[in-house]
Structure 1
């Protein structure tokens, strides 16, 4: 272990070395003793120097803090503290008595000192008192003894610190441990001012930044809190913590913390993912960051070409970490590993690596299936994995691209079925759909190679997450194939009787979908609409505009057939204004240019049918007595306004007592055919005597 004042090649503050390392401070299953020992080895290798023992769900750390450790538990802690010393890692034992301690009771203080004395006997020399995530209301006895909650915490912390002999490393976590918790502000917080003024100067204070999970931590914010606390803080960094959401994992780099912070801090401890093995990136990149100062010794990589921070590049640090992590994946030295699988070689004339199966090694005969070979995991696979599980406030570049492409493909799906003047857009849609499909396929292949990696310990920590993202990508992939008219694939997510993986999220997902504004905090914000649409009631003055749209779209429908030779539809008389829509059954769509669409209906379709002498059987009119028509100009690329119009129209028809509605379409009108088909509730119906090139669709109400 480095001597007091020695930095071990790392930055320092005053005569103490800069604290750098890991806090095991999350909620959930604590790490195993073997994993912690592995952590110490990594910290020593990467130049980190501290481990803070603070697992929230270790009963004797928090809930049963008064209870002494048993002989068996003591043996484990002694071994752990010894392992930390062997690897030059400062072991800091933390205890959280704040759930139920009575500060004014001398017996409580004695119990706390007795517990820490026991740990001191195990060989521990550094300690921490944590008062995070607790109720701030004092009990009546403490209210009589102390003028404030801060005074109560400071009194017992100072007493314990002095009882232990003023340890060189002693950390205090305040209840207001981030700027968001301070009332009214950091600089005006009476709680923090009391802590800063009354806490003994040898005690360091933990701080998470502007928020519990801070997106960015600025130099100015640290200078502000340091002034109030009268000492630089130790950052407890939750940037990679995932205990608040079981569906999230963070494999992105340590970032959005300038290296200018380092001389203004006492240290940085990362509180990472609950799963041990995926924390390779979080800890590795933090180590790179800690070295990235002008006087920080040998840096891992040169960072001088970066504009934002001349000493640290998150992307270079990430690549460095993933390169090293790849070797871990391919290693069988980890606990739980398996013999390396057969891996395909770059050169076809090399023999594949075989598992050690002795004389019983199987060789397939002529005409039999060849032995299964696992594709080797690549650095690109790990970069993709990191992009898909990046950081709390942002997705990686590939994930952002996939979301943008999916959004574009959804918005412009009408163009996929368009013809004539929209042909170029249709080509673009299909090209981008293929690009999206290729990206989805890359995720599937990454999953396959990860699943075959020799190091099973890492895989098992990742497995739930990579299964989930593979399934989500598969649903999106199937949806886009359907939009492109490529049939109904087996993974089609929208049908009348879906498999359970077709509706994700369980009860939690159901609750979220029922809440208003769900999704307004998504990391991927939908790009702003290029147009604002207004839906209003149809009035007689709209007759000419509606007829203009009808004529324009009929002309564009099939250029091979002259307009006058196209057979009439029953609904044409509605669009031309020869018959007025029923009351409350006419809608017009407007954008910034003008009228760009309409939706009209007749409660009783018989007059319109009679006008063109179209015979419609009574059985059809019994089930579908009403008639609808809708048309939207090609410049409306968003299908949502049209869906809203038809929804309102069908609602009005239903209110009139009608049992159903039908429409007639020209087969050349691929765009509207696609629209009605995707509504789901509108199905083809049989009407005898329809002219060639015309079909009917209907929906029950």
Structure 2
């Protein structure tokens, strides 16, 4: 089957696919987000969740309202999503709410009702990731918060990201030991209307073995909703790379083992479309999927016939060698090659990457 026409032949077990803008550092522009609202449904995706870590009004200052300018942009984005048949979501991280929750509760209710009244999201994600687990009754506190939010919101779909969203030891190293029975308590008592995010065996998982997902399903008492951290590049090491290759090791069987699949993209919005376009191909083609062919078709579509061959030639330098290991000669070669295409958004993002414009945010602790 030609890769250019693969989307005309949907796989019968295709999961709910979407994008969550959930990375650290500078988020996408509002223009890029509205473009994604048009691009995603044309390429096999059904939802977009706005949850950039840079938006303090969703995280450390969650109790504060957005500025009028930001709220206006969010309304335009939500409208653009709906106009294109794309579900629009908001990711809220009520950081610290479990401390003195009796005082925080009315503030949280006000924020949830503000989100509902102004944006009416199709999806509301309650995100407890990347928070210190400094209370032994963490699960009970988060269950109370999640169930309160569920009682306040009119959002038809609910998601929750636990504080421990992977079996990766890095989480306990950074955020402290996981309270005993944390995942099983969440799974047993969380309202079944919530799906639960999971990143896999690692925070940055390369594959998702069936036995691992079966174990997680048993813990959570529901199939996990995958938070896929490819191609995101917001960490201290990963920010030096452009992850452009096609998705690999996402076999079609995952559709039977997951309740959904959300992709966390790169800081570079236009370049992210290169790998993003290949994930639906992997699901739809199953055993007939070939990552190299998928990458070739996608880069041609995303970047055009002149720029695409250059990116294919330079893929190893950008994705395997990385910015910090380029020789001065290689750096100059890349700069010269893409300078000739300045004004094309993919070339501009490569040039910005070469210039160090996508810096690491030290708040990102899980690279």
Deviations 1:550-596 (A, max 9, x none): xxxxxxxxxxxxxxxxxxxxxxxxxxxxxxxxxxxxxxxxxxxxxxx
Shift of residue 242, structure 1, vs aligned partner: 1.1
Shift of 1:385: 2.6
TM-score w.r.t. the length of structure 1 is 0.45
CA distance in 2: counterparts of 1:467 and 1:63, whole angstroms = 30
Deviations 1:97-122 (A, max 9, x none): 12x21355233122112112111112
Question: Per-residue displacement from partner, 1:189-231 (whole Å, max 9, x unpaired)?
Answer: 6111001101011100001111111122212211110111111
What's the C-alpha RMSD, in Å, of the aligned pairs?
A: 2.7
1:82 matches 2:79: yes
Query: Residue 4 of structure 1 corresponds to which residue in structure 2?
Result: none
Cα distance, 1:465–1:124 mapped onto 2, change above 3 Å: closer
Q: Post-superposition, which runs of at least 4 consecutive aligned residues in structure 1 deviate over 3 A? A: 8-12, 443-449, 464-468
For 1:454 and 1:389, the matched residues in 2 are separated by: 18
Gapped runs of 5+ residues in structure 1? 1-7, 139-146, 294-309, 331-375, 404-439, 469-701
Q: Which residue of 1 aligns with 2:267?
A: 274
* CA-CA distance at 1:467 after TM superposition: 6.5
In structure 2, how many angstroms separate the alpha carbons of the residues matched to 1:274 and 1:173? 21
Give the secondary structure class of the aligned counterpart of 2:292.
Answer: helix
Higher-helix-fraction structure: 2
From 140, 151, 162, the equivalent of 2:140 is 151
Give the match for residue 193 of structure 2. 202
Matches within 5 A, 1:556-575: none
Deviation at residue 87 of structure 1 after TM alignment: 1.3
Give 1:11 shift.
5.1
What secondary structure does 1:60 align onto? helix
**In 2, are the aligned partners of 1:11 and 1:263 still within 8 Å (CA)?**
no
What is the distance in 2 between the residues matched to 1:71 and 1:59? 15
The secondary structure found in structure 1 opposite 2:202 is coil
Partner of 2:253, secondary structure, is: helix
Given that 1:11 and 1:262 are in contact with CA atoms closer than 8 Å, whether structure 2 keeps it comes out as no
CA contact (8 A) 2:251 2:283 kept: no
Q: Secondary structure at the match of 2:250?
A: coil
Superposed, 1:66-465 pairs within 5 Å as 66-98=63-95, 100-102=96-98, 105-122=101-118, 123-138=120-135, 148-165=137-154, 167-181=155-169, 190-245=181-236, 246-293=239-286, 310-327=287-304, 376-377=306-307, 379-390=308-319, 395=320, 447-453=335-341, 455-465=343-353
Q: 1:273-310, CA deviations, whole angstroms, 9 ceiling, x for partnerless residues?
A: 112222121211123224334xxxxxxxxxxxxxxxx1
Residue 446 of structure 1 deviates from its aligned partner by 5.9
Judging changes above 3 Å, is the alpha-carbon distance between structure 1 residues 53 and 203 closer, same or farther for their aligned structure 2 residues?
Answer: same
Task: Name the structure, 1 or 2, with higher relative contact order (CA <8 Å, separation 6+).
Answer: 2
Q: Give the greater-gyration-radius structure (CA).
A: 1
Q: Is the 8 A contact 1:218 1:258 kept in 2?
A: no
- Give 5+ residue unaligned stretches, structure 2: 1-8, 173-178, 357-367
Counterpart in the other structure of 2:55: 58
Q: What's the TM-score once normalised by structure 2's chain length?
A: 0.83
Deviation at residue 459 of structure 1 after TM alignment: 2.2
How far 1:464 sits from its partner (Å)? 4.4
